[in-house]
Amino acid sequence: MCSGRITLAAVSSMVCSVVHGQVFTIWTEAPATVEQGGTYTVEFWAKIEGLPFIQGQSAIAGFGIGGFATDGRERVVTNHGTVFPNWVGFRTYGTVDGPDVIGVSGGQLANLFGAPPWADQSNPIMLFQFDVTVGDILGGVTYTPGDPHPLGGLSFYPHVNDGFSIVAPNNPGTSLVFVGATTNVIPGPGAVSVLLLAGLTGFRRKR
C-alpha cells in the first residue's frame, strides 16, 4: 500500500503494489505545446484492466488523488481549479496549492435498489480536469497524478448493480500506476515577430 505524496518525472509510471493481475492506471492528457502566457487544459483519466472487471457489467466507482506539477512548476502562473465530468455525482474539489490541486475525489453510486441504470460504465473514463495558465518561461511543464487517498486511489464495482467495490492499491492483487504528460511552453506569435524583425534589421545594417 502506498503512502505519502507521490511525485514522478515526465511520462513515467510507478506501481504502488506488486502486479498480480488487476492494473488500475491513472494518467494525464495535455496538449504537446502552449504559447507563452497561454492557458491549456490538463485531463486526468483512469482505466482498469483484468478480471473481475468486465466491460458492460462493471463500472468505475470512485477515486481520490491529486494533480501535481512534477516538473516545470516555475512556468505555471495559475491553476484554475478542478472541473468534473457529469458522471461524478459526489465530489471534493480539492485545494489549489500553487500549480497543484491536492485532495481531489469523486465517484458514482451503483445502480442499487432496482433504480433505472444510470451509472457511467465507460472504461477508460475521465476523472477530472483543470486549466493551467503559464508565463513567459520557455520549457516543459509535466503534470502527474499522485498522493492516493488512504482509503484508495481508484475503485470499481465488479457488477454495476451491486454496491461491492474493489479498491487499489488497498486490496490484495491490485496495482495502481500513475503516468504523467508534458506540455512545452513555446514562443508566441509576438515573440516570433520580434525575432524576425530583429533579424531583418540586422540584415539591413550589414548591407
At 125-167, the pLDDT tens digits run 999 999 999 999 999 999 999 999 999 999 999 999 989 999 9
pLDDT band at 203 (very low <50, low <70, confident <90, very high): very low
pLDDT at 179 > cutoff 80: yes
Burial classification of residue 206, based on how many CB atoms lie within 10 Å of its CB (0-12 exposed, 13-18 middle, 19 or more buried): exposed
Exposure string for 37-67, b = 16+ CB within 10 A, e = fewer: ebebebbbbbbbeeeebeeeebbbbbbbbbb
- Cβ of 19: how many Cβ atoms within 10 Å? 13
Q: What is the pTM of this model?
A: 0.83
Distance between CA atoms of residues 155 and 66, nearest Å: 15
169 prior amide bond cis, ω within 30: yes
